[in-house]
Structure 1
Amino acid sequence: MQTYLLALNPTDSVISGFLPAAGRLGLSVTLLTDQPEVYGPPGALGPDVEVAACDVRDHRAVITHISRHGQPAAVFTNSDHLQTQGALAAEFFGLPGKDWRAALRTKDKALMRRHLAAAGAEPVRSVEILPGQSPAACVEAGGVVYPCVVKPRDGVASEDVVRAEDPAELLRLCAEIRARRPDAALVVEEFLPGELYTLETLGDGRRLHVLGGFHTRLSPPPHFIEQRLTYVPGHPAPVREQILEQLALLGVGFGSCHTEFVVHEGRARIIEVNYRAIGDHGDLLLAELLDIPLFDHILATHLGEALPESLGARTGRAARIDSPCADRAGVLTSAPGAVDRADGDVRLTYRPMRPTGERHPLHRTNRDYLGILRTVGPDQDSVDRAADAFLAAQRWEITP
């Protein structure tokens, strides 16, 4: 069965998750990308994977390319940037997929806020600043409250997401982001207090499975770098139901979804919805922790298969993800290599995210990650001890 996978740059989710799953399902994959050269020479991804050049940000180019090769079995993407394009292509060919309207609502942060408010959810004060508009005029007209958060409307990975304490700081931050992204629309919204969590879901359009979620530890303000994710097998029922109700209002319920939210005084309020699997090894951790063929299930929904009533997920274990970050610009001169280790009943998997010898600026996003450590064990105490001991024994040296 011929399946098309839309992608930009290579990710661990695609290389280590979805492509092996496609092989297990007997699928022939054409990976459509605007960066074919970064995927290596022909055959580098396996005998059943072809890499083809395509302007994947344009749904018309995607549909035209696929139409030259006959009716596909599925069109799929795990990219934040390509969900609407993938959904439109799947709909064009009459294939199972996400509602393109829901994909657009979740990608466009201003549209998400407007839609949730219009549907009756508790509103979040927000202002959209389009390219060419005056941030000062928009902020004044929108009645921004402080502290607030400014972010690109279509951004990902906490890039250029910054907290502002007062009007002067906000206008300065808008100017700095505009200098880097002159064509980007911005969103300024009230800062939502509370503990940050995620909810991970998997659906087939009829049945929705909740896979648990994570409690997120962030870097100190004003930036929002995710430094640690601790697995939460089940959020309190009132919290879970509040988030599921908001996802239903957005039209989310097909394939995988990674939702970030805060809980404050019993209220659960969405920060953002990423209508794809959690990244930065979170999906790989879930597959290992729950002992389920997660990537196979996600692809199967796009082939039109119903999810089982029970996924048979293993329970009673704990896990966390740690992401050591660069704290300065420079050359990474010393760092640990890949590690796969069993420490009693605890399994540790470390993967470098940056090669030694390369110079990098300081991004203040997950592009500053030096590596990712996944730790799975029988209980949280043993997981925490093993992860803390591993991290304490490592050295990452950056030369300015």
Structure 2
Amino acid sequence: MRRATCQLLAAALLAAAFLASCASFGDDLFLLNHLDDPAKANALTEAGIAQYAVRLVQHAEYEAVKEVRRYFDAALRYDPSNAQAKQYLDLVDTYLVTRLKANVKDADRLLAKKARTRDEDYLMVAAVEKAARLDSQNEDVRRLQRETVDLRDALVKEGLALERAMVEKITDKTADDTRDRQWIDAYLAVGRVLALDAKSEAALAEQARTRKQVEEALARRLAAVRGLLEQLKFTVSKAAIAGMSELSRRSGGLGEEAVRTATYELNYRWARWLYDQKEYASADVRVKAALAVQRTSDATALAKRIADAQAKTETGGSFETTLKDIDRLIGAGELVAAQNRLEALERSTTDKAKLAELDARRERIRGFLPDLYARGLAAYRVENFADAIEALETVVRIDVGYEQAAEYLEKARSKQRLLEQY
């Protein structure tokens, strides 16, 4: 096997292992050495599909076509009968052609209009730029470039003037939150300019400047979260991270790593504190949330200590004491932990009066499901998949058949995995 193909396969298996939350690099090497050729082809195909969906379909990275194509090409060398690899190889091969035709068609349609709005002018020039990125030597593309060059230059100047006007409004006296949002708006504005002329030196310089400011804003917020965690202000930290996440989404994904780091550190530190307080059920919820973000050795070790402590406490303690723990967990919003303790306690008794008390708690827990489900769907619809997963996972763990929670949870997980791999 050629070295390039080996590296590509290793990358595919490592990506697949990451998505499956494998614990170590040794596991990845084990997969690489022990899969048969059809399984290797499937791994390559799955990794290629993820790349195709995110890099080509979602982000329109035309320059990535050759790299994405290699996944399916290599998969077919391992298993020439892999139908899915053949299908996606055809899709990649037709990707440039179909999008070139579509952009030329859109540009010609708008060019033919006798009167266009300024928004239509923008869409027309953007379509020409996309077509040029796909095939700059195409005769139709070169014709459209000649016919729209003056309009493009005018739109670029207008866009840069608008972006610079946004930046001029930002001063040292501007409140931090407002300033952060203004820098994001400026960053997005210059992105619209680059969609018209990807090589504009002025626009590229402005993009670098605004991007730096946005990334510094998110880094500053991460430092603030860490300061709050040092003071054990977990609820306040959670709200601060929600603000970071909203800004990251608003910017198109800048600062995603800072948000992930903050989310991990919050849940790990919170779990460690709860463990020290002997609040094992709540600690278990938090350490699992940390591991869902990043599987570190520290979090893995803490999860084991928590599980061991839970096993010891669940074998002792009175019904009344455990019932109080359940009430406390419900009050703290730790619904999954409350449900788990309730089910464990339910298995330990046949007393009708005690079972009735547990049924009352179960109904209290279920009373939260409509709001959680609505929040999960709302987050999914605005493509905030991380928050959708958090809400829908709680719903499914309490009632796997609730409405369409399981279906939307799987969709959200799939889309989040694609974003994280990208």
* Both structures adopt the same fold (TM-score exceeding 0.5): no
- Larger helix percent: 2
- Larger strand percent: 1
Comparing both chains, which one has the higher relative contact order based on Cα–Cα distances under 8 Å and sequence gaps of 6 or more? 1
TM-score, scaled to structure 2: 0.26
TM-score, scaled to structure 1: 0.27
Indicate the structure (1 or 2) with the bigger Cα radius of gyration.
2
